[in-house]
Every structure is written in structure tokens, then in C-alpha cells.
Amino acid sequence: MSTLLPPGVHAPGDPAVPASARRRARHRPPLTRAGIFGVGAALPDGVVTNRDLERALETTDDWIVRRTGIRERRRLAEGELLAPLATEACRRALADAGRTAGEVDQVLVSTVTPDRVTPGLAPDVALRLGAPQASAVDVNAACAGFVYALDHAAALVESGRAEVVLVCGAEALSRITDHDERSTAVLFGDGAGAVVLAADDGLRVGCGSFVLGADGASADLLYADLDERKLRMQGQEVYRHAVRRMVESTSEALARSGMTAAEIDLFVAHQANRRIIHAAAAELGLDPARVVVNVDRVANTSSASIPLALAQAQEDGVLRPGATVALAAFGAGFVWGAGVVGFKERPHAGD
Ligand code: UT7
């Protein structure tokens, strides 16, 4: 293919172009940066504890806590919609950022469990928020969906196509959980979290150093198919890949941002399993004090888990304005991603 191009010009992916050069070409520093200026979360009222599950399944609180760190999860009631929960998370994120729904250019909702096959959740969330001017779209990248959506949102802001983007992860995994199968029934929960991303020229870290990946060959290790609509997983295999991919992508995101692990204030990874999170953190050289874990309270909420963990960390006083945060996620696909982001680097975007 490159023979059709002028001498010295190579097609994308041409092996004549060294990988490092290709990467540099694809990552020009943006003129405007995107920053996270607010975070919000919303959980359903229904709580399902490990003790509740002991009564329904051949499992124990001790097994679940030891193998996963999970103590309880939230569940939407039968027939309850996810869109109001996602909208509440977005409202709280906007309030936290001191912004209004009328300022939002796009609503990006990451979900694998929308209220209908189509339309997606995002248009409904925009409507409920009172943001008729906003474009709205769903992203499906399983448990890595929030990181993917954040990268897309940052690209919109950095390119000048948008000023303010709401990025929400909202999941009702109870809808696609086999509640009779103990190896997965104990793992999943419902919830929604959101962040406000906005343009600002004065940010140091911003939201630009994302590394995303995909490997469709591993789809059969974690999936829910159209007929059955239940999550099926080969847990140990997924565990192994999750640690490896999150470590690799976080290391690369750190390198891309020109930082070392020592400069990271907090590590907020997808909350699938406490052991996975701590194993990845240890490999990255991050001590447990800098690792956010809330899987004990909400279980695995797929793409809602990172914004839920960010909101929890802020509420606990662990995530403070000006923090540099490493995000990492892994999920069905396989898909994975990591990024280094600045949290509330300035009190208000554009100040
Ligand atoms: O969100 C997307 C990414 N997802 C993940 O990253 C999840 C990755 N995987 C994991 O987190 C872990 O593999 C699990 C938590 C799913 C399972 O933990 P494990 O330590 O890998 O357990 P295992 O699957 O190897 O099962 C160990 C034993 C088995 O019994 P035997 O064969 O040793 O007699 C299971 O049958 O534990 C048994 N077991 C249970 N026992 C009590 C499986 N589920 C349960 C249960 N209660 N709920």
C-alpha cells in the first residue's frame, strides 16, 4: 500500500514507521486541555448483603470477603429504571462542579445495561437533566467503558468540539446476572457515577494521557449473549488478564504523561475484586494508602465503578482538589484502558 504514496510517506500501520514515531504522531499535545471539575454518584436503595446471599446460595460471607473483598451490593427494584439513577449521578456531578445542565454540550453514558435495547440511556438522561441543547450517546466498552468514554470526552474538549461534557457510567448488572450461579451471583451490583469534564487552558495534568486497548479474541472468557442475557465468566483467566492489562496500560499512561508512580496521589481502578486492585497496585509500586477500594460496599458495577469510587474517595476526604489520579479498567471484550488525570486542578474551568 505504501508504494502508492510519495517517497518517505508511510501509510498508518506501515512497519517501515517505527512504533514510537507512530505513537508520537498520534498524540500531539492539545492546545486546550480537558479537566475533571466535578464528580457525583447515585446508588439504588436496595442493599443485598453477603448474609442475604448465604440464604439463597451455597456460599459464605467468609468466602466472598476473602476472594473478592465484597461485603454488600446495591440492586434496583424489579422494573425500576436505570435512567433516573444515572440522571441523579449527573446532577450531583454538575452541582459539585458548579455547572448547570444548560452548559453541557454532550452527555456520554457508558452502560451495558440500558433500559431498552434502543434508544440508549444518554438521550433520556439529557432529557431528564434538562439539557435539550446537548448531544447524547451511549458507549459500550463493558467494565472499561468509563475510561473509554472519558478519553472520547477529553478528545472532544481538547479539539474544541465541546466545552463541557458529562461522562456517566451507569449499570444495572442485576439484570444480566444469573442469580442462581454462585460463582458470578455474588460479584455484581447496580449504580451510577458521573464526572464533569470541561475545557481549561491552564491545567498541568488535564485528562490527555489515556492508553486504550482491545483483544476480541478473548471474548468467550467473559460475555453475556443475546439469547441468554446472563454474564458468564472464566474467573481465574479474567483475573490474570485484568492484572496484566491494567499494569501495562497504567505504566504506559504514566510514561505518556511524563510522570512516575511516585507522583500519583491516588490509584482508582475498576472495582472488580480487591485482590486484583492490590495486585496491580503492588506491581506498579503504589502503596495501599494510595489505592481506592470501595468494592466492599458496591461490588462490581462495571463501568459505574470508577466514578463511584471517585465520588466515595472525595466524600471520605481522600480525593482532594489538585490530586493527580491514575485510572485503570479492564472488562469484557477484552477491552482495557488507563489514564492519568488531574482532579479539580483549578476551582472552576476557565478561571
Ligand atoms: O469486571 C470485569 C473483570 N472481572 C474480573 O476481573 C473478575 C476476575 N475474577 C475474579 O475476581 C475471581 O476469579 C473470582 C472472584 C471470580 C473467583 O475467585 P477465585 O479465587 O478465582 O475462585 P475460583 O473460581 O478458582 O473458585 C475457587 C473455589 C471453587 O471450588 P473448588 O473447585 O476449589 O472446590 C469454586 O467452586 O471456590 C468455589 N466458589 C465458591 N465458593 C463459595 C466459586 N464461587 C463461590 C462462592 N462461594 N460464591
Give residue 28's pLDDT: 65
273 C-beta closer than 6 A to ligand 1? yes
d(CA 270, CA 197) in angstroms, rounded, equals 19
Ligand 1 centroid–CA 68 distance in Å is 8
Query: Residue 18, SS3?
Result: coil
Residue nearest to atom 2 of ligand 1 (CA): 331
Give residue 348's pLDDT: 77
CATH class held by domain 209-343: alpha beta
Q: Is 273 a catalytic residue?
A: no
- Among the listed residues 152, 241, 270, 278, the single catalytic one is 270
Strands 323-331 and 266-269: parallel
Tens digit of pLDDT at every position of the chain (351 positions): 333 444 434 444 444 444 444 444 456 667 789 999 999 999 999 999 999 999 999 999 999 999 999 999 999 999 999 999 999 999 999 999 999 999 999 999 999 999 999 999 999 999 999 999 999 999 999 999 999 999 999 999 999 999 999 999 999 999 999 999 999 999 999 999 999 999 999 999 999 899 999 999 999 999 999 999 999 999 999 999 999 999 999 999 999 999 999 999 999 999 999 999 999 999 999 999 999 999 999 999 999 999 999 999 999 999 999 999 999 999 999 999 999 999 999 887 776
242 C-beta closer than 6 A to ligand 1? yes
Ligand 1 centroid–CA 64 distance in Å is 9
Residue 228 amino acid letter:
E
Judge whether 86 and 215 are in contact, CB under 8 Å: no
Write down the architecture of domain 33-200 according to CATH. 3-Layer(aba) Sandwich (3.40)
Q: Is the pTM here over 0.85, yes or no?
A: yes
Residue nearest to atom 35 of ligand 1 (CA): 183
Q: Please, is 63 exposed, middle or buried when counting C-beta atoms within 10 Å of its C-beta (0-12, 13-18, 19+)? A: middle
- Among the listed residues 143, 207, 273, 294, the single catalytic one is 143
Q: Is 50 a catalytic residue?
A: no
Give residue 26's pLDDT: 58
d(CA 309, CA 277) in angstroms, rounded, equals 12
Give residue 27's pLDDT: 63
CA-nearest of 261, 210, 218, 258 to 238 is 218
Q: H helices of the chain, where?
A: 19-26, 50-56, 61-68, 83-97, 121-129, 145-158, 182-185, 235-257, 274-284, 295-298, 305-315
Dihedral sign from CA coordinates of 342, 199, 149, 40: positive
Residue nearest to atom 40 of ligand 1 (CA): 183
**Domain locations in the chain as residue ranges:** 33-200, 209-343
Ligand 1 centroid–CA 226 distance in Å is 24
Ligand 1 centroid–CA 246 distance in Å is 20
Judge whether 303 and 143 are in contact, CB under 8 Å: yes
CA-nearest of 179, 122, 178 to 145 is 122
Give residue 175's pLDDT: 98
Q: Is 270 a catalytic residue?
A: yes
| Number of residues written out for the chain | 351
d(CA 1, CA 229) in angstroms, rounded, equals 42
Pocket mutation for ligand 1, best pick of 66, 147, 178, 183 (most atoms within 8 Å of C-beta): 183
